[in-house]
Amino acid sequence: MNANIPIRTPWQNFPPAILHAEESRVKKHPHYQDAKAGDADAAFTLVKETTSNQAVAELKELIHGRQAILVSAHAFEKDGVNAIPEAFADELGRRLDIPTDGNVVQINVVGHTGANGFARMARQAIFDGAIIKGANYVLVDDFIGQGGTLANMKGFIETAGGTVIGATVLTGKPYSAILTPTQEQLAELRAKHGKDFEDWWRNKFSHGFDCLTQSEARYLTRTEDVNTIRNRLAAEE
């Protein structure tokens, strides 16, 4: 399956992503830059030293006896293929005694590291790979910014017949881990920018506001007007 466009599905009370370590602990780790640039040994050292036992216990509770597969995002960075997500999934698989799936790959380069919110929304991750229909998946990534990459990976897997039951990331902002926007947030966004803008958004990105992450919805609501949003997105493309 290769849609060549970002795919999203509604959140339906999706649980918050489970975080393992504070951002400074991960990004200031001596092996972080090498791991981000594709050094597998550096990545394994990094994840072994920053994976949280408490977070692993939360993951175990989330899965709660269901058969599940850990699937990681394979993303291209400016210096190479980020080795952290796969190493992280392997470490979690070892601790939880569940399988990992390396077949799902990101097929475009988005350059999200250090990017602003408009860049993250303008350049969305697109995925390809074989999905087991009816299987339960847990998404694994190294960092959560606005949550768009997880949203798109979830959409790809669910459109292909899998079920995504949760997500976990090595680090990120705690508020970004809350992926599902509230009805109040969506109502505020729609009231501020109008139905025509949501129709424009759906035409451009193939999904409505109900498929935004909470951080994305907040970012758009805080932007002054529709023209600013459109211009900023166009500039970042």
Pick among 3.40.390, 3.40.50, 2.60.120, 1.10.1660: CATH of 18-177: 3.40.50
With beta carbons less than 8 A apart as the criterion, state whether 98 and 125 touch. Answer: no
Strand partners, 166: 138
| pLDDT, position 56 | 98
For the chain, which residues make up each domain, given as ranges? 18-177, 183-236
State how far the Cα of 46 lies from the Cα of 48, in Å rounded to an integer.
6
Query: What would the two tokens of residue 203 be?
Result: 């035409």
With beta carbons less than 8 A apart as the criterion, state whether 150 and 17 touch. Answer: yes
State how far the Cα of 6 lies from the Cα of 9, in Å rounded to an integer.
10
| pLDDT, position 113 | 65
| pLDDT, position 1 | 44
With beta carbons less than 8 A apart as the criterion, state whether 167 and 179 touch. Answer: yes
| pLDDT, position 76 | 63
Torsion of CA 186, 188, 192, 196, to 10 degrees: 30
State how far the Cα of 208 lies from the Cα of 199, in Å rounded to an integer.
7
Q: What is the pLDDT along the chain (237 residues), one digit of tens a residue?
A: 445 678 999 999 899 999 999 999 999 999 999 999 999 999 999 999 999 999 999 999 999 989 999 999 776 655 668 899 999 999 999 999 999 998 898 888 776 566 688 988 988 889 999 999 999 999 999 999 899 999 999 999 999 999 999 999 999 999 999 999 999 999 999 999 999 999 999 999 999 999 999 999 999 999 999 999 999 999 987
